[in-house]
Structure 1
Amino acid sequence: MTWVYILECSDRSYYTGSTVDLERRLVEHNEGLGANYTRERRPVRIVFAAETDSIATAFEWEKKIQGWSRAKKLALIEGRLSDLPVLSARGYRSGA
Structure 2
Amino acid sequence: MEKNGRHYFYVLECADHSFYAGYTNNVEKRVAVHNAGKGAKYTRARGPVKCIYVEEFHTKQEAMRVEYAFKQLTRIQKLKYMGEDKS
Q: Do both proteins adopt the same fold according to a TM-score greater than 0.5, normalized to the shorter chain?
A: yes
The equivalent residue for 1:88 is none
The equivalent residue for 2:32 is 27
Q: Distance in 2 between matches of 1:31 and 1:12?
A: 18
Q: Using CA pairs under 8 Å that are at least 6 residues apart, name the structure with larger relative contact order, 1 or 2.
A: 2
Aligned counterpart in structure 2 of residue 55 of structure 1, from 60, 65, 77 = 60
Residue 79 of structure 1, CA deviation: 5.4
In the TM superposition, what are the counterparts of 1:1-96 in structure 2 within 5 Å? 1-78=6-83
2:42 aligns to what SS in structure 1? helix
Q: Distance in 1 between matches of 2:14 and 2:84?
A: 19
* Between structures 1 and 2, the one with greater helix share: 1
Q: Distance in 2 between matches of 1:70 and 1:33?
A: 25
The TM-score, its normalising length taken from structure 2, stands at 0.87
The TM-score, its normalising length taken from structure 1, stands at 0.79
Aligned length: 81
Instruction: Return 5+ residue gaps in structure 2 as ranges.
Output: 1-5
Q: Distance in 2 between matches of 1:76 and 1:46?
A: 15
Q: CA RMSD in A?
A: 1.5
